[in-house]
Amino acid sequence: MSVFSEVPQAAPVAVFKLTNDFNNDQFPNKVNLGVGAYRTDDGKPWVLPVVKKVENIIVCDNTLNHEYLPILGLPEFRSSASKIALGDDSPAILENRVGAVQCLGGTGALKMGAEFLRRFYNGSNNTKTPVYVSAPTWENHNAVFANAGFEDVRPYKYWDAEKRGLDLAGFLGDLESCPERSIFVLHACAHNPTGTDPTPEQWKQIAEIMMRRKLFVFFDSAYQGFASGSLEKDAWAVRFFVSMGFEMFCAQSFSKNFGLYNERVGNLTIVARDADNLKRILSQMEKIVRTTWSNPPSQGARVVAVTLNTPELFAEWKDNVKTMADRVLLMRAQLRDKLKALGTPGTWDHITEQIGMFSFTGLNSKQVEYMVKEKHIYLMASGRINMCGLTSKNINYVAESIHEAVTKVQ
């Protein structure tokens, strides 16, 4: 008998199972609206032209080698990544109280932050501190904090299913009623999975309560630039919270806005009270990194660093990002218009009111099942669709299928 015979079979990760089911489907007009990655209007992955250019620069640079990076990562990557999140003129950067850890994607940045907070926030090794994640949220948020040792991961109200928008009153109510010093995971922009973000005025209300009630801010920024096409607009909330004087973490992913999904390029930006606090925080981050991945990979980080630190490449990158954002905005408008033209029951304005890669359609689980089984259109059970999966060739079929699902299945 194997020593591992008692190991239970784990359930597959939903989004990857969905892709596997899609790949095995022989139906000629099948559509994958599940996977969280950009696709061109031909339904193909897109290597950003600026990325190709920078990769060639790196290949031809004979000064580079494969020596270990510093434990916290490539310095020019860390500093430039924090700058695009906080802004070049950020007072926190000018006051030398911003530091960063290069991580394995946005997930790695969340993991590093969670591990540090469990060890050093709200006492020592405090596993009882409540961690609040939005309802709904990206499913990995719950797991990352639970696996870091937090025993009390709770939802905060966010989505109003009836009006298909933000439940601001519920959100603010949870901020007022939660225990002081609770940790809140906030989506910086393009909320996953709903695509619904607070307005600047609403963010100000959220920040005021969080400051007054001594709540810890942990931003997850996975779509900067990708959501609206503007780096500044998508970073508004993060920069506002810094201006309010919060000590906070911001997990950044460069998977979507650079198309570097398999390079695992992430950054944890740390905004501390002062330079002395920052120094001690980073010293402990080094210890955590050492026992997690020991040393980060260089390729993806170097692509991002060269791009962000070279003015003409930076300008080209912003143009590439806007190309992606504009295509998503176009697909949103076309899908809404087609559903309205078909007379599909319900309101569909939320499709264009939402932002970013995903849309929370409002389809229920039976309607989703109908879409998958009868129409061969693959989407998450929550009703979330990836707008990048829509193309000029399949959008009519998708719209007609949604209409059919809504009218036939209750």
Q: How many CB atoms lie within 10 A of CB 261?
A: 18
- What are the residues whose beta carbons fall under 8 Å from the beta carbon of 172, sequence distance 6 or more? 205, 206, 209
Other CB atoms within a 10 A radius of the CB of residue 26 amount to 6
Strands 159-160 and 165-166: antiparallel
Q: What is the DSSP string of 194-258?
A: T-----HHHHHHHHHHHHHTTPEEEEEES-TTTTTS-HHHHTHHHHHHHHTT--EEEEEE-HHHH
Q: How many CA atoms lie within 13 A of 358 on its CB side?
A: 27
Catalytic (active site) residue 220: yes
Q: What distance in Å separates the CA atoms of residue 18 and residue 35, rounded to the nearest whole number?
A: 8
Catalytic residue among 46, 111, 138, 197: 138
Please choose, from the candidates 255, 117, 245, the residue with its C-alpha nearest in 3D space to the C-alpha of residue 192. 255
Reported as half-sphere exposure (CB side, CA atoms, 13 A), residue 216 has a value of: 24
Half-sphere exposure of 245 (CA within 13 A, CB side): 4
Distance from C-alpha of 258 to C-alpha of 106, rounded to nearest angstrom? 13
In the block, which residue shows the tokens 């009703």?
383
Count CA atoms closer than 13 A to 179's CA, side-chain side: 12
Q: Which two tokens stand for residue 310?
A: 């070279």
Cα–chain-centroid distance for residue 286? 24
State the DSSP code for 10: P
Catalytic status, residue 138: yes
User: Could you tell me the maximum CA-CA distance found in the chain, to the nearest angstrom?
Assistant: 64
Residue tagged 């008998």 (tokens):
1
- Annotated catalytic residue: which of 256, 317, 348, 375? 256
283: exposed, middle or buried (Cβ count in 10 Å: 0-12, 13-18, 19+)? exposed
d(CA 312, CA 57): 14
Helix (H, G, I), strand (E, B) or coil at 160: strand
Catalytic residue among 220, 234, 317, 375: 220
Residues designated catalytic = 138, 220, 256
